[in-house]
Amino acid sequence: MANNIKAEVGAGPVQARSYVNHVFVIIVVYNPHDDEIANVQRLSLLHPGVVVDNSPVPVFKDAHLNMMEYVGLGQNVGIAEAQNIALRHILNHTEATHIVFLDQDSTVPDTYPQDIAEAFDRIRRDFPNIAFLGPMTENKETGREYKSVIHKDKALSADFILRREIISSGGCTTREVLEKVGLNEKRLFIDYVDFEWCWRANSEGYVCGLTPNITIKHRVGQKTIYIFGYTIIISSPFRYYYQFRNYLWLLRRGYVPLQWKVNHGIKNLARLIYFPILIKGGAKCWKNMVKGLVAGLSSPK
């Protein structure tokens, strides 16, 4: 299932550079706005890492962006493979011990990568099988915490809340964990990539979770609406193709939690009913849902 860490980057030559800092940052960008470009540039002045650009027209010109390497792909290969490209470079060409994942719109303090890496190490002393640590995530527009209405928090300590799966943005893992669990499954392209990785880590005896002591501001989806008190995240229309296709692919795998399969099956069925009626632009989303269902009925190549 996992991609081979020792594979070549495959996106053109990337020169290795050495740093004393062993915490490296990965940022994947796709058609970023001016403020998001400024955010990436700010982070590149402070931390070593790799920026992978999925935009059809590369945002930057040089192979180096301050302290970071820059890989302009000229096409959208998906979040999974873009992160894999960065991971292969970091694991093969640096002495990084910790890897921190950020999105182009993630708003974090200057010291964030070190902060989350230090939190990972503190928690690892009590929970040596930790695979991935994420922050508490707030909607950057509303200030509300993104929180599941289904899963109740299970605090294992004052620093660590156990979660079966978490989003990759703002999260931290280590070289040794990646060498055991592997990289992302690139066939998933974008949706449930981080969830699948967490479930795979769980199947290897690891745990994932959040630290309530670190918070980042982030936007999940295109917009957020509230219906009958429930939070509904609306994604870009094309995302529903991958959500429905990938759900059917993951439905067949034993290591994927049964509760997730049931809950998302109910959620997807409900979306097919209410999206064309209640959601602005829902008809376009619905068409992509149906296309995703058709694609998901076939096994991935």
Is the CA virtual torsion 104, 105, 110, 113 positive or negative?
Answer: negative
Q: Which residue has better confidence, 159 or 13?
A: 159
Q: How far is CA 124 from CA 57, 82, 155, 167, in A?
A: 41, 28, 15, 19
pLDDT surpassing 80 at residue 84: yes
Beta strands 161-163; 207-218: pairing state: antiparallel
Query: Does the pTM exceed 0.85?
Result: yes
Cα–Cα dist 86/103, whole Å: 13
Continuous H helices in 107-174 = 112-126
Query: Token digits for 223?
Result: 């917009």
Cα distance between residue 68 and residue 201, in whole Å: 28
Residue 255 half-sphere exposure toward CB, CA atoms < 13 A:
14
List C-alpha distances in Å: 296 to 49, 220, 280.
Answer: 35, 24, 25
Question: Residue 294: what pLDDT?
Answer: 96
Dihedral pair phi/psi, residue 174, rounded to 5°: -125, 165
Q: In whole angstroms, give the CA distance from residue 28 to residue 43.
A: 13
151 versus 127: which is more confidently predicted?
127
Which of the two residues, 137 and 66, has the higher pLDDT score?
66
Beta bridge partners of 232: 225
By percentage, how much of the chain surpasses pLDDT 90? 76
Contacts of 33 (CB under 8 A, 6+ apart): none
pLDDT computed for residue 15 by the predictor: 40
What Å distances lie between residue 9 and 14, 83, 144, CA to CA?
A: 8, 11, 38
CA 190/CA 54 separation, integer angstroms: 12
Q: Which residue has the higher pLDDT, 2 or 43?
A: 43
Dig out the tokens for 287 from the structure. 């068409």
The kind and range of the H/E element at 71 are: strand 68-72
CA 140 → CA 40, 150, 211, 251, distances in Å? 17, 22, 18, 32
